[in-house]
Amino acid sequence: MAKASLQSFLLPQHHYFANTSNHDSSPSNLLKLTTNSSSNISFRLFSNTSPSVTTTSTPNSSTPTPVTPAAADKPPSPTLDLLSRQLAAGDYRQADETTRALLIDLAGESARRRGYVFFSEVQFISAEDLRAIDELWREHSNGKFGYSVQKRLWEKARRDFTRFFIKVGWMKKLDTEIEQYNYRAFPDEFVWEMKDDTPEGHLPLTNALRGTQLLGNIFMHPAFEEGQEEEPTEESVTATTSGQSKDDSKGRERPKFMKDFKPNYSF
Amino acid sequence: MARDDYGCSRLINRAATGNPSAHRSRVIFNVPCRQEYAHEFICCFLDNLDKSTLDPWSNEKHSSTFDEESMVKQPFGCQLKIQDTKMSSLVSAPFATATGRAAQKKPTVPLQSFLLSRRQPAAAVNRGRAGSNTIRCAVAGGNGLFTQTKPEVRRVVPPEQRGLPRVKVVYVVLEAQYQSSVTAAVQQLNADARRAASFEVVGYLVEELRDADTYATFCADLADANVFIGSLIFVEELALKVKAAVEKERDRMDAVLVFPSMPEVMRLNKLGSFSMSQLGQSKSPFFQLFKRKKNDGNFADSMLKLVRTLPKVLKYLPSDKAQDARLYILSLQFWLGGSPDNLQNFLKMIAGSYVPALKAAGGIKYDDPVLYLDAGIWHPLAPTMYEDVKEYLNWYDTRRDADPRLKDPNAPVIGLVLQRSHIVTGDDGHYVAVIMELEARGAKVIPIFAGGLDFSGPTQRYLVDPVTGKPMVNAVVSLTGFALVGGPARQDHPRAIAALQKLDVPYIVALPLVFQTTEEWLNSTLGLHPIQVALQVALPELDGGMEPIVFAGRDPRTGKPAADSICSVFPPSPLIAELVLFSHFGHTWRVVNKCFFPLLVLDAGKSHALHKRVEQLCTRAIRWAKLKRKTKEEKKLAITVFSFPPDKGNVGTAAYLNVFSSIYSVLKDLKNDGYNVEGLPDTPEELIEEVIHDKEAQFNSPNLNVAYRMNVREYQQLTSYASLLEENWGKPPGHLNSDGENLLVYGKQYGNIFIGVQPTFGYEGDPMRLLFSKSASPHHGFAAYYTFVEKIFQADAVLHFGTHGSLEFMPGKQVGMSDTCFPDSLIGNIPNIYYYAANNPSEATVAKRRSYANTISYLTPPAENAGLYKGLKQLSELISSYQSLKDSGRGPQIVSSIISTAKQCNLDKDVPLPEEGEELAPKERDLIVGKVYAKIMEIESRLLPCGLHVIGEPPTAIEAVATLVNIAALDRPEDGITSLPGILAETVGRNIEDVYRGSDKGILADVELLRQITEASRGAITSFVEKTTNSKGQVVDVTNKLSTILGFGLSEPWVQYLSKTKFLRADREKLRVLFGFLGECLKLIVADNELGSLKLALEGSYVEPGPGGDPIRNPKVLPTGKNIHALDPQAIPTTAAMKSAKIVVDRLLERQKADNGGKYPETVALVLWGTDNIKTYGESLAQVMWMIGVQPIADTFGRVNRVEPVSLEELGRPRVDVVVNCSGVFRDLFINQMNLLDRAIKMVAELDEPVEMNYVRKHAQEQAAELGVSVREAATRVFSNASGSYSSNVNLAVENATWTDEKQLQDMYLSRKSFAFDSDAPGAGMKEKRKAFELALATADATFQNLDSSEISLTDVSHYFDSDPTKLVQGLRKDGRAPASYIADTTTANAQVRTLSETVRLDARTKLLNPKWYEGMMKSGYEGVREIEKRLTNTVGWSATSGQVDNWVYEEANNTFIEDEAMRKRLMETNPNSFRKLVQTFLEASGRGYWETSEENLERLRELYSEVEDKIEGIDR
């Protein structure tokens, strides 16, 4: 995949975050962007690279791998509209894929070729687009999912990604003498339905295979600057106080795992 | 380069002709030649390629020239002897082109790949070794228990499709990467609508074939396979299994392709008419040749060029044979190219050409193998790869995405070293993570990659400015985990060091997990897999690599099969895939792989970043880089001193080091150099005063200067792991380093320098914690100290001052720290520089690995001979008069004086003395005198370090004499050096070994001769040293002096000296060689690099690495001021070590037999030390092997991973059982060797031998019955601490006098030391097996330890008694009998086995009671008093653990230090705290019943105690 980066590429017109005052952000805007880009390449990139955005596994890996007909699993082109439909249908799994593909698509031609977003390309994604994605997620999850939800939790974890990963359920506790956490395996160990015990901020997933700078930069994107999304944030807070994060909202009374927290990684 | 090519071209020419005398380098491309030779040639070539891959690890020096004669004659002589000139012309063609000569003349040969290809570093041939080595290791590692995978995950079954021929491929590989590539390739093939065939494929990992079921499946799969592919099958037993299975089907199958593997498997190759059945028939000579003659990487280079070129040559040869051969070579290229595209074409080519149905249909069209750029600069965002750093930087500056910080000319620049295979295969997520992290933190990166394993060239090419010759980076981080040159294969450390010296920046070698999945690593208390530690931690250290931080992991789910199985046993794909990528290197980078394949497969076995570890790595790298950027003036340094054991008298403790004087001299030097050291006092004494305030204050009183008070809130905010400490220490601040409200940081700041006192473990005085401190954590005060240094003082570097502190011994994994490991959390992001005693490489290595220290060695103080004093001196005079007067009739009288004086000196326990007045025959008199004499001489010539070393003050030449005498006493056959005593003995017609033996027996004449030899040695060396020094005693220009001296035979000072002795006829030539060597040593001893190296480190420069150890055995330890490292752990024990071990073991057993009514001991309980085994290259390890009667078998790489039993006949005695107690450091450094020992012992226990001849079996059977386990399990004998824990803590208890009774000490020992290593479950790490430990110890008839170097003896350090189980064994034994205890001393040329009590007496006589020693110590003042007290405390330790200390030792010590008023006053004045401890220790010795003395003595001690107490308290008030 990385070989893509070796090809010469022309940076397509980027949406600098400086331009983000544009308020008529809409799915159509995104659609336009997608159609503008060479869809063939993005298709392929999408189909091949999106899973690499998270840790992957082969659910059926213990059985002989069936031949995959070339075109059979070519997913539809990633658009906001598609994301919206998938979310509306409660298909979080596909929506999650679409989200990552969208992110790659939005980050520019070079990210599309490469198949993943380099942290410094996040600035090229427009605030509208990012917020649109976030809004869809929140809208279809009672405010439980979405980047802005995650960002809030991340801030609460004092921007410590390990704490954050544990909080949103991307890391699991290991059964060792000392308290340790390892990354969850994709996709089996993630929760793909909205249940009571689905951790707040669990979706969408963002890859930590290449470290945390990408996600950090999404959180730091002007799209999620304080105040801008006040209402929805509150919404999501209220929506989840009944959930498992309530003990976390009390400053002093951190859950035990936070107190005894032994930093750890793995994904 | 030209030379290499030339060399090789000659080689091959000759090879082809098979006639060394015929120089046929004249190249005529004579096409219609005898093509049938082509494939024979290839066979031969591959044979050699393969063998050279097998070569690797011997330690011999490389020679860069070929020994043509033997090289050609031996390898090729027989196999190719039929070949003639025509053949030669055929094969020499490519080489001619390779050399560039004659290239243009042969337009038929496509040349561009050659002309354009860059010089290939030691590439592929070396790489092949990776595979083989590791497989061997894996075998050693424990029978497939690491691998639980099945081949089913690698099976691809095409859908049923009528009319299409079906091709079934079965492959066996080592590396995980092939799995994903092959699967992808096959899926793509099957997905192609226009495909000519459908492919079914199933792959096996070599290691899986151990499993019987899997093997059966394998055979079944082969039964209907068309094609078999094998690669890197180097494990012999598995190779044979593969061979057996494939052989049966070989004739039926359409093609069998085996790439570099053992010859047995290679011979299976079959491709049409091409076969390799003759392969390797010429075998051994070539291989032997390679073993003997180390050719360097260039040979491999040239071989590879041949592979690249050959197909192009063969293309023009019409015959089928040549074409088959060509396809074989192309296959190799495809395979080594490794990408799914290449593999697709490979399968198309093979199927189309050899599967009858497809061949008949006209074959399948395929593309040529793809060319890859070999080395260059890669960035994930860059549009291309760069071969020019300027171009890269130009692009970098135009990046639109980059933060302005990256464009700041002052941004730190980090060079990254990457493996090409990761980039080419897209397994680069972890690389990208590091690049992103660094850039996000404001550092520019220059990520370079290379396909070979020699990165020295690329680092020069891409990281050094070609114009100025200056490095373009401020630090280099290798993400490969490999040694810079040679990777896991044949390293060339000198070349690596030379390259790194040119770069002159800090060099960090971080590593991805390769043998374990992330979870396996997290779960493991060992941490990093031992094999990876050996390959990727120990070896890079030899290059000066620092900070083995694990930055990437592997998820079992990411390509479950690959990661799980391969990674746990083998080096993962990238390790080996490099080997594989040597195929074609063009000058342009082409992206071929336009088609993406299903990612589930693609991702198999890929690395992922460990986000916190990446952060740790990157922040640390940037901190190091900043050292290069900051000015001296603004740099902040935190000097950290220790206080160990915790007592005020101990502040600034470090082995052999006068810490405060050293700090003072460092600070003065730094000040002169431009550092801000404001307010530095005028003398070292004032410095101590200011840090400690007043030496007499109690440790915990706030009088130790408080540098900072940290309130709890601040502490918690700045210390992310603070809450983790609460389990052990409660809420902060706690009571240690605390005033109840704040945490206190002790120390003092001078300008930008902070001198701080490292807090202690905190549990030293707490017996319960000592007993149960397995999971202890540092206390809040400890954490606060490092938080202060990093976050408040904001040190640019910390300098830990001297051997050793507590930081690196904090709980955590052994190697490969995780976020939960305390040494890692504590050191945080601060670059760590650590002054460490050169003679302690093992603990230095722990500091290096666990706390990321750049360890800079310092010299131990110059040793002197102990000399004689008081009664011993009288004795020596008496003996001298006896020798002149013995026949005069005064003989008997003198003898009786000798006897009575000897008794006064308490020698009666060492030498059997007759009753006074007893009539003695002259012969008996001689014998008694001889024995006393021998004892006296032994004491006299003992080496002891006098005083303490001060950094920046090397010894004077004259001070170095004793060291040189000892260096001269050892034969060094490898350098052609005969020992001086050996040379001298020869001149009087004696063999020195005989003289030693006679002297040991007490033969008077021999004792006298030995004394004369010793004296003459000293005299000759002194005369030499005097000639090379000036009037101030400094060595001046040894080299020039030497050459002058050596020029004129007669004026040689040693000759002049010896001419006046009885040794005047000594061999001049041998002396000349020896003194030439001694001159070099002298130069090194007096060299002063300690301050210089520190400054280099502080300036962000590279510090040259060097081995640690005993300068006498290994003068390469000198000069000090090097970044100390250990050794390649798999290199021990060496043959030489085994030889010495046999001598020691035989002496030990003989001695025990003699003392024990002619019975061999059934069990010996012994200790393995890390340092000892480093210094002696595994002698004590070898001792254990010889006791149980096994022999280490080095593999073809000279690495020891296997043992074989020695037959009972050869052994000539029963196999002696052992209980092996490994020190925590040994466990960290040599876990593979623990594994080896455990397997050896279990093997011996299972030998079908009579139990009276095999005590291991005998005991194991008994214990098996008692414990209800198998004999194998009962034969558990290799114990140590739990992972991450060190020592039995008996030492801490004794040092702090905080134990109630011996039982408590023994409990500590048992609870801390009863963790066993099990070779049957190596992955499980250390498991507590206390019952087995106790049962084994209960059978011990003897306990045993080794002394490793002259300057460290039993009472110098607390470690020796800490691990002594003598009384413990007595308590466990059913008969309650105390075991004999022995100490081996191989520090001198004449190795000795003494009883423990003999050794304690010897030690007391030469140190504690020796005026020369204690006066030397007193000269060091404050620290000297502490050293005296330490010896006494350690003596009490021996009483406590072994009861082997004689009463007179205490009595004499009391006479010396307490009764002597002047002395006790001096002690009290100089260091009242230590004096108080001394008095207290005397009282304790008496109170615990180890010392019986007069009430008067005790009364005096009590008075003194309250006096000094008052004094201390009084001053306190």
**CATH code for the domain in which residue A197 is found:** 1.10.10.1770
Each residue's pLDDT tens digit, A208-262: 889 999 999 999 999 998 654 444 433 333 333 333 333 333 333 333 333 333 3
In DSSP terms, B1342 is beta-bridged to B1164, B1380
Which stretches of B851-921 are DSSP H helices? 870-885, 891-904
Going by DSSP bridges, is the β-strand pair B511-512/B166-173 parallel, antiparallel, or unpaired? unpaired
Q: With an 8 Å Cβ cutoff, are A69 and B191 in contact?
A: yes
Q: Is residue A141 part of a domain?
A: yes
Each residue's pLDDT tens digit, B62-71: 333 333 333 2
- The amino acid present at B1135, given as its one-letter code, is T
Q: In angstroms, rounded to a whole number, what is the distance separating the alpha carbons of residues A43 and B852? A: 46
Q: Which residues of A touch B713 (CB under 8 A)?
A: none
Q: In angstroms, rounded to a whole number, what is the distance separating the alpha carbons of residues B747 and B737? A: 12
Per the model's pLDDT, the better-predicted residue between B532 and B691 turns out to be: B691
Residue the block writes with tokens 């199933």: B202
Q: Is residue A148 part of a domain?
A: yes
- How far is residue B960 from each of residues B235, B802, B1020, B1021, measured CA to CA in Å? 50, 22, 14, 10
Q: Is residue A218 part of a domain?
A: yes
> B833: Cβ–Cβ under 8 A, 6 or more apart, which residues?
B797, B798, B799, B800, B853, B854, B856, B1094, B1097, B1098
Cβ distance B177 to B577 under 8 Å? yes
**How many other C-beta atoms can be found within 10 angstroms of the C-beta atom of residue A19?**
11
Inform me whether the C-beta atom of residue A116 falls under 8 Å from chain B C-beta atoms: yes
Q: How far is A231 from chain B (nearest CA, A)?
A: 31
Residue B992 in this model has a pLDDT that exceeds 90: yes
Q: In angstroms, rounded to a whole number, what is the distance separating the alpha carbons of residues B629 and B257? A: 55
Cβ distance B743 to B1280 under 8 Å? no
Q: In angstroms, rounded to a whole number, what is the distance separating the alpha carbons of residues B951 and B857? A: 10
Q: In angstroms, rounded to a whole number, what is the distance separating the alpha carbons of residues B841 and B1175? A: 8
Each residue's pLDDT tens digit, B553-609: 876 543 333 222 222 222 223 333 222 222 222 222 222 222 222 222 233 456 789
Q: With an 8 Å Cβ cutoff, are A6 and B589 in contact?
A: yes
Going by DSSP bridges, is the β-strand pair B255-258/B1200-1205 parallel, antiparallel, or unpaired? unpaired
Q: With an 8 Å Cβ cutoff, are B599 and A121 in contact?
A: no
DSSP state of B1442: T
Q: Which residues of B touch A213 (CB under 8 A)?
A: 433, 436-437, 440
Q: Which residues of B touch A55 (CB under 8 A)?
A: 555, 557-558, 608
Q: Taking each helix axis as running N to C, give the angle between helix B123-142 and helix B297-314, from 0 to 180 degrees, rounded to the nearest 10.
A: 110
Each residue's pLDDT tens digit, B1327-1386: 899 999 999 999 999 999 998 777 778 898 888 999 999 999 999 999 999 999 999 988
E strand spans, B787-914: 797-801, 832-837, 853-858, 863-865
- Least confidently predicted of A157-161, B31-35, B777-781, B1309-1313: B31-35
* Chain A residues 175-234 with CB within 8 Å of chain B: 176-180, 182-183, 185-186, 188-189, 208-214, 216-217
Q: With an 8 Å Cβ cutoff, are B424 and A5 in contact?
A: no
Q: In angstroms, rounded to a whole number, what is the distance separating the alpha carbons of residues A240 and A197? A: 11
> B437: Cβ–Cβ under 8 A, 6 or more apart, which residues?
A211, A213, B614, B615, B617, B618
Residue B99 in this model has a pLDDT that exceeds 50: no
Q: Is residue A234 part of a domain?
A: no
Q: Please count the structural domains in chain A.
A: 1
Cβ distance B1482 to B1450 under 8 Å? yes
- pLDDT, residue A78, reads 83
Each residue's pLDDT tens digit, B127-145: 333 333 322 222 223 333 3
Three-state secondary structure string covering B49-97: HHHHHHCCCCCCCEECCCCHHHHHHHHHCCCCCCCCHHHHHHHHHHHHH
Q: Is residue A126 part of a domain?
A: yes
Q: Is residue A210 part of a domain?
A: yes
Q: Is residue A75 part of a domain?
A: no
Q: In angstroms, rounded to a whole number, what is the distance separating the alpha carbons of residues B546 and B481? A: 11
Q: How many CB pairs under 8 A join A and B?
A: 232
Q: Which residues of A touch B775 (CB under 8 A)?
A: 177-178
> B581: Cβ–Cβ under 8 A, 6 or more apart, which residues?
B336, B337, B338, B372, B420, B421, B424, B451
Residue B383: closest CA among A51, A81, A6: A6
Backbone angles phi and psi of B594, in degrees to 5: -75, -25
DSSP state of B551: E
Cβ distance B721 to B783 under 8 Å? yes
Residue B306 pLDDT grade (very low, low, confident, very high; cuts 50, 70, 90): low
Residue A71 in this model has a pLDDT that exceeds 60: no
Q: How far is B396 from chain A (nearest CA, A)?
A: 13
Backbone angles phi and psi of B741, in degrees to 5: -120, -35
**How many other C-beta atoms can be found within 10 angstroms of the C-beta atom of residue A189?**
17
Q: With an 8 Å Cβ cutoff, are A162 and B597 in contact?
A: no
DSSP state of B881: H
CA dihedral angle for residue B591, residue B371, residue B175, residue B120, rounded to 10 degrees: -130
- Compute the average pLDDT of residues A77-91: 91
Q: In angstroms, rounded to a whole number, what is the distance separating the alpha carbons of residues B50 and B128? A: 8
> B234: Cβ–Cβ under 8 A, 6 or more apart, which residues?
B54, B131, B132, B135, B136, B174, B261, B262
- pLDDT, residue B1388, reads 80
Q: Is residue A112 part of a domain?
A: yes
Q: Which residues of B1473-1485 are buried (b: 16+ CB within 10 A; e: fewer)?
A: bbbbbbbbbbbbb
Which stretches of B1212-1350 are DSSP H helices? 1224-1229, 1231-1245, 1255-1267, 1271-1274, 1290-1295, 1302-1313, 1330-1338
Q: How far is B252 from chain A (nearest CA, A)?
A: 26
Each residue's pLDDT tens digit, B250-277: 999 999 998 767 677 888 989 888 777 6
Cβ distance B169 to B200 under 8 Å? yes
H or E element in which residue B1188 lies:
helix B1179-1188
Inform me whether the C-beta atom of residue A141 falls under 8 Å from chain B C-beta atoms: no
Enter the tokens of residue B1302. Answer: 């011996």
- The amino acid present at B888, given as its one-letter code, is S
Inform me whether the C-beta atom of residue A8 falls under 8 Å from chain B C-beta atoms: yes
Q: In angstroms, rounded to a whole number, what is the distance separating the alpha carbons of residues B513 and B554? A: 7
Q: In angstroms, rounded to a whole number, what is the distance separating the alpha carbons of residues B125 and B120? A: 11
DSSP state of A123: G
Residue B861: closest CA among B774, B962, B793: B962
Q: In angstroms, rounded to a whole number, what is the distance separating the alpha carbons of residues B1239 and B941? A: 41
Mean pLDDT in chain B? 80
- How far is residue B543 from each of residues B120, B315, B1253, measured CA to CA in Å? 21, 44, 47
Cβ distance B1481 to B1436 under 8 Å? yes
Q: The domain containing residue A162 runs over which residues?
A: 80-224
DSSP string, B652-692: T--TTB-HHHHHHHHHHHHHHHT---TT--SSHHHHHHHHH
- Least confidently predicted of B71-80, B641-650, B775-784, B1416-1425: B71-80
- The amino acid present at B1294, given as its one-letter code, is V
E strand spans, B1087-1162: 1105-1107, 1123-1125
Cβ distance B1240 to B1278 under 8 Å? no
H or E element in which residue B1513 lies:
helix B1495-1516
Each residue's pLDDT tens digit, B43-63: 445 444 433 333 333 333 333
Q: In angstroms, rounded to a whole number, what is the distance separating the alpha carbons of residues B565 and B574? A: 15
Each residue's pLDDT tens digit, B190-226: 888 888 889 999 988 776 786 778 899 999 999 999 9
Q: Using a pLDDT cut of 90, give the percent of chain A over it.
A: 42
Q: In angstroms, rounded to a whole number, what is the distance separating the alpha carbons of residues B1110 and B1009? A: 28
Q: How far is A151 from chain B (nearest CA, A)?
A: 18
